[in-house]
Structure 1
Amino acid sequence: MILRDTWKDVGGGAHVVVAMSGGVDSSVAAALLAERGCEVVGITMKNFCYGEVPEKHASAACCSLEAIEDARAVARRLDIAHHVLDFEGRFREAVIEPFAAEYAAGRTPNPCVRCNRFVRFPQLWKKARILGAEFVATGHYARAVRANGDAGEAGGAVRSGRTADVELRRPADRAKDQTFYLWGITRPLLERALFPLGGLTKGEVRERARDLGLETAEKPESQDICFIPDGDLRGFLERHRDEDPELAASAAPGADRFRPGPIVTAAGETVGTHAGSAFYTVGQR
């Protein structure tokens, strides 16, 4: 059975929408598709109000003015169209509010999974259809592959005269594997998703960006949650609780999970204090 990355089967002239965050990965993804002769349109998603981020950390936010300008500069260099789309309302509803609610319930959320499933891919595909595009590409380190062959070659997985379904596979750079964040994408959307970086390492991506003179070539990676670039989870949750009547109401007086309290053993012995039970969740790192 031969597995082939779907993005390598996209021919010249194919119309592709590329999610451009203003980072090096999405910049190189756009460049690789442009090199293949694709008609590339870069889209930067504005998912939350960067004005809510503390000023000294605002530039680190994924949809900050600086990030948008970086994406626009790369698009100009690649001579491709670029648009900024506002998904703030949908992102808040599908990602931020469930994120805060999960912490309040004592569970650890994964906002990237929800974003990819409910915001990034469906919203970009909706825009792609309006533009007449056939595919949506991102700078994720993952592979979308398809097996081709007859029943014998594929061990019965692929029928004669029929191509197999697209599968999500791990990338060449296992240290950067992002497939975990993509598992929730529906199959119809995965069929239209392209991951040009799947066969490259992070070092190779940066080298390609340098060779192309991309403005994002040396841009550092973001390790924080995109809407909490300062890493202050407590501050974010407390602000969100104060701003969200439903979340605030869910914590009855005396049972506020964001409030410090005693650590008590099953025997009733107080052995210390905690910073708020919401910050000790099942599944936390």
Structure 2
Amino acid sequence: MDNKKKTALIAMSGGVDSSVAAELMAKRGFSCIGCTMRLYENDMIGEDLFGTCCSLKDTQDARAVTEKIGIPYYIYHYENEFREMVIEPFVCSYEKCETPNPCIRCNKYLKFDILYKKAMELGCEYIVTGHYARIEEKDGHFYLKKAVDLSKDQSYVLYDLTEEQLSHTVFPLGDFHKTEARQIAEENEFVTSHKSDSQDICFVPDGDYASMIKRYRNKDYPGGDIVDKDGNVIGHHNGLINYTIGQRRGLGVAAEKRLYVTKLDIEKNQVVLSDNEDLFKTDLTVRDFHWITGEMPKGDVRCSVKIRYKHKEQPATVTLPEKEGGMAHISFDEPQRAITAGQSAVLYDGDIVLGGGIIDHAD
């Protein structure tokens, strides 16, 4: 990459990773602009205090880092866009008994669409984030790859990027381990150097997504029966949004053996519990399929597929759709546990991300 007089817009959350990303780009000779995306206000989520990414402390920390590096810093307000493109679909997905990953939508529609366009408007050649992933240019194509530090790899939540976006994106931390990133922050005496990693969804800082949804909608969700796989009533639930496939804890059902949520039945307003072995399935269908590089192959593709962020990808045969955005069918070589609608299935060829889509249902 020729970085001579190149300008980069650095997305800064106020955390250690984006701070180090900015430092690395500045050291490489780029003309850098730091920015923080303000994504929500208190009334959106019903919190008295901001959670991660949008708190006053985070913006102060990001500004302090940019001052130390010696680069300009701006705050861009995208509250309405975030509400429309991330929070509302998140809530709707739970209301359809899915379990969404809002980070994927945020990356697709906010960081690498709206902010990406802002970078281009500012005359920046690149947009930069603190994600742990890599981009490789080869044979006229840009490939998204896993990070060197596999324990921090975030390629899963970036599968919806296009080649055009990848060609104007830099992930400086892709070749680093987290311990190295912290060391760089410490050496530069950044205020973020000892900041802990955020673990929860940024707009659900306490992790209680069901309460957030109730506050957001200003409503309660109707309770109903908890049944076993034979339809026998064994308990009562307090709203389907409180449950997800594979859940065992917090069911409020006394049983002689461990039971797990295997189905959420919207029509009957029932939570179905069954044995752990009933959670294993081989086939699933995904919607909104996206293929990253080049022309999408016809027919079947052998690759590895990851069905959630912490899942270890497994070998499978994927029947691709005829066109981008269509439905794909995935058949694993071995049954996988708790395939969950709303999560994303991401395809890998070794450490290269091929594409993926949102899980519609397990077959």
TM-score range, shorter chain: 0.7 to 0.9
Query: How far apart are residue 50 of structure 1 and its match?
Result: 4.0
Structure 1 runs of 4+ with >6 Å offset: none
**Alpha-carbon offset, residue 266 of structure 1:** 5.2
Partner of 1:203: 179
- Which whole-Å CA distance do the structure 1 matches of 2:144 and 2:70 have between them? 30
Out of 167-176 and 128-137, give the one that drifted further.
Answer: 128-137
Tell whether 2:174 aligns with 1:185: no
More helix by share: 1
Q: Under a length normalisation based on structure 2, what TM-score does the superposition of the two structures give?
A: 0.65
Whether the 8 Å CA contact 2:40–2:82 is kept in 1: the answer is: yes
Give yes or no for contact 1:134–1:192 (8 Å, CA) kept in 2: yes
Aligned-CA RMSD value: 1.8
Please name the residue that 1:152 is paired with: none
- Name the structure where strand makes up a greater proportion of residues: 2
Q: Work out whether residues 46 and 216 of structure 2, in 8 Å CA contact, stay in contact via their aligned partners in 1.
A: no
In structure 2, list runs of 5 or more residues that go unmatched.
Answer: 246-339, 344-363
Q: Write the deviation string for residues 220-252 of structure 1: whole angstroms up to 9, x where unpaired.
A: 11100001111121210101221xxxxx6xxxx
Counterpart of 1:214?
190
AA paired with 1:205? Answer: A
Partner Cα distance (1:17, 1:195) in 2: 12
Give the CA deviation at 1:129: 1.7
The structure, 1 or 2, with the larger RCO (C-alpha pairs under 8 Å, 6+ apart) is 1
Cα deviations by residue, 1:51-76 (Å, 9 ceiling, x for unpaired): 64533x53x42111111111000000
**Percent same amino acid among aligned pairs?**
41
Identify unmatched segments of 5+ residues in structure 1.
1-8, 148-157, 159-163, 243-247, 249-255
Judge conservation of contact 2:91–2:213 (CA < 8 Å) in 1: yes
Matched, 1:235 2:227: no
- Tell me how far apart the structure 2 counterparts of residues 270 and 223 of structure 1 sit (CA, whole Å): 36
Partner of 1:269: 232
Question: What is the CA-CA distance between 1:37 and the residue it aligns to?
Answer: 1.2
Q: 1:267: Cα distance to partner?
A: 4.1
Distance 2:190 2:89 in 1: 36
Which residue of the other structure, out of 132, 142, 145, is the alignment partner of 2:133? Answer: 142
Separation of aligned partners in 2, 1:50 and 1:69: 18
1:93 is matched with 84
Q: Distance in 1 between matches of 2:223 and 2:179?
A: 44
CA drift of 1:261 comes to 2.4
Aligned length: 247
User: CA deviation digits over 1:75-99, x for unaligned, max 9?
Assistant: 0000001000000000110000000
What does the per-residue CA deviation read over 1:160-213, in whole Å, with 9 as the maximum and x for residues that have no partner? xxxx21100000110101001100112211111100000001100000100111
Q: Secondary structure at the match of 2:151?
A: helix
